Amino acid sequence: MVLNTALTRDLGLRIPVVQGGMQWVGLPKLVAAVSNAGGLGVITALTQPSPDALREAVKHTRSMIRPDVAKRSKLGAFGVNLTLLPSINPPDYEGYCRAALEEGVRIFETAGNNPGPIIKLVKEHGGYVIHKCTTVRHAKSAQKMGADMLSIDGFECAGHPGEDDIGGLVLMARAAEDLSIPFIASGGIANGQGLAASLALGAQGANMGTRFMATKEAEIHDNVKQVMVKSDERNTTHIFRTLRNTARVFKNKVAVEVVEKESKGAQFKDIQPLVSGQRGKQVYINGDIDAGIWTCGISVGLIHDIPTCEELLKTIERDAEDHINRLAGLCSSTTSSSQGRQSRL
């Protein structure tokens, strides 16, 4: 059995799984490993300090892609993530995008506010855009802007789930009703059962972030990975709820302190020192899980080991096929039983 979807056909994948962009995590070693294993690896552009640094990350990633994988799609074997967030001093988003395009990248994952200019730029160069949304209304807007595919991000996800608090089960079903372009599922997916469920709900594949953190090729401290294996689905929390910029993170000492300060009316300036990106980066470097804020989805409860990306994707592919076959068997059994009952009447 082969999982044949719009995602695998459009991008030449063996398995319909995208490694989502993750700050400080979407680095060349992990990206190449995911792509070599049959999925789509994605470099996180803003992890790199400048567009020129992104160029070098693209070159480094390409040097680790197997020749057979490099040939699988005219769009290339991996992509680049650009997350567009509100900021007083925004990064040079267009500069990052142009740097990737000039290095031959043609697959982009976008997220955040107003992706229109980036989508337009990518499309002018014959590229392909998967835009991540937390609501159907935003997905429809991105569809109008020219996105090729949407990534529908449910409330279960790590990072920013939006403010509507709609879980993936309903959100995907709504997307299937309203969208005219294909979509993939994002948030709460970490195994083959989740992939099969996503396909059943109309998705063309799955976007996984948290699960790829706990792989051998993820360049984060092993202590973080071990903590993830020992955690369950209750070990995350939301910060910035009172600021209308909700983010799901691992429930550590810093996150608990942020939530407590918010409950007492704290403004962003009051908690900014606690949530700085550089403090979060130290978690991944030094392995102190309480050093800062770090994103983590509730799918952490489904993580029980630290495999290679090759092992992980093979397991997900096999298990998804088993669940799909099981469901097909249920349908066959029902039909046979109905025919048997009718023959006896």
Claim to verify: residue 323 and residue 278 sit in the same structural domain: no
Taking residues 43-52, what's their average pLDDT? 97
Q: How confident is the model at residue 1 (pLDDT cuts 50, 70, 90)?
A: low
In the prediction, which pLDDT does 258 show?
97
Task: State the pTM of this model.
Answer: 0.94
Same domain membership, residue 125 and residue 47: yes
Confidence of residue 333 (pLDDT cuts 50, 70, 90): low
Asked if residue 94 and residue 161 are part of one domain, the reply reads: yes
Same domain, yes or no: 209 and 244: no
β-pairing, 236-239 with 247-250?
antiparallel
Nearest Cα to Cα of residue 40 among 59, 14, 64: 14
Q: Which two tokens stand for residue 125?
A: 């160069």
CA angle 178, 181, 187 (to 5 degrees): 75
Residue 151 covered by a domain: yes
How confident is the model at residue 307, as a pLDDT?
Answer: 98
**239 and 120 belong to one structural domain:** no
Mean pLDDT of 244-271: 96
What is the chain's alpha carbon radius of gyration, rounded to the nearest angstrom? 20
Q: What secondary structure, in 3-state letters, does the chain show?
A: CCCCCHHHHHHCCCCCEEECCCCCCCCHHHHHHHHHCCCEEEEEHHHCCCHHHHHHHHHHHHHHCCHHHHCCCCCCCEEEEEEECCCCCCCCHHHHHHHHHHCCCCEEEEEECCCHHHHHHHHHCCCEEEEEECCHHHHHHHHHHCCCEEEEECCCCCECCCCCCCCHHHHHHHHHHHCCCCEEEECCCCCHHHHHHHHHCCCCCEEECHHHHCCCCCCCCHHHHHHHHHCCCCCEEEECCCCCCCEEEECCHHHHHHHHHHHCCCCHHHHCCCCCHHHHHHHHHHCCCCCCCCECCHHHHHCCCCCCHHHHHHHHHHHHHHHHHHHHHHHHHHHHHHHHHHHHC
Q: Is 90 exceeded by the pLDDT of residue 197?
A: yes
Q: What confidence tier does 10 reach under pLDDT thresholds 50, 70, 90?
A: very high
For the cut 70, the answer to whether the pLDDT of residue 341 exceeds it is no
- The confidence score (pLDDT) of residue 345 equals 42
Could you report the per-residue pLDDT of 290-323, keeping only the tens digit for each? 999 999 999 999 999 999 999 999 999 999 999 9
- Do 21 and 165 lie in one domain? The reply is yes
What was the pLDDT predicted at 343? 44
Residues 183, 59 share a domain:
yes
- 323 domain-assigned: yes
Does 264 lie in the same domain as 196?
A: no
Q: Does residue 278 fall inside a structural domain?
A: yes
Same domain, 262 and 182: no
Distances (CA, A) of 163 to 175, 243, 246, 287: 17, 10, 7, 31
Please report whether residue 345 resides in a domain.
no
CA-to-CA dists, residue 330 to 290, 325, 333, angstroms: 47, 9, 5
Greater pLDDT, 113 or 105: 105
Within a domain: residue 305? no
Residue pLDDT, tens place only, 112-159: 989 999 999 999 999 999 999 999 999 999 999 999 999 999 999 999
Give me the count of residues in the chain: 345
Q: Is residue 59 part of a domain?
A: yes
Task: Let me know whether 278 and 322 are in one domain.
Answer: no
Domain assignment of residue 336, yes or no? no
The answer on 171 and 35 residing in a single domain is: yes
Residue 338 has pLDDT above 90, yes or no: no
| Mean local confidence (pLDDT), 16-35 | 97
* Structure token pair of residue 32: 């190449």
Token duo for residue 226: 């071990």
Tally the domains of the chain: 2
pLDDT on residue 174 = 97
* 143 lies in the same domain as 10: yes
Task: For 203-244, write each residue's pLDDT tens digit.
Answer: 999 999 999 999 999 999 999 999 999 999 999 999 999 999
| Cα distances (angstroms) measured from residue 250 to each of 9, 124, 237, 256 | 35, 39, 6, 10
Tokens describing residue 239: 């910060």
- Mean pLDDT in residue range 48-74: 97
Q: Is residue 338 assigned to a domain?
A: no
Instruction: Please report, for the domain that includes residue 193, its CATH number.
Output: 3.20.20.70
The residue range of the domain holding 263 is 222-299
What CA–CA distance (Å, rounded) separates 47 from 230? 27
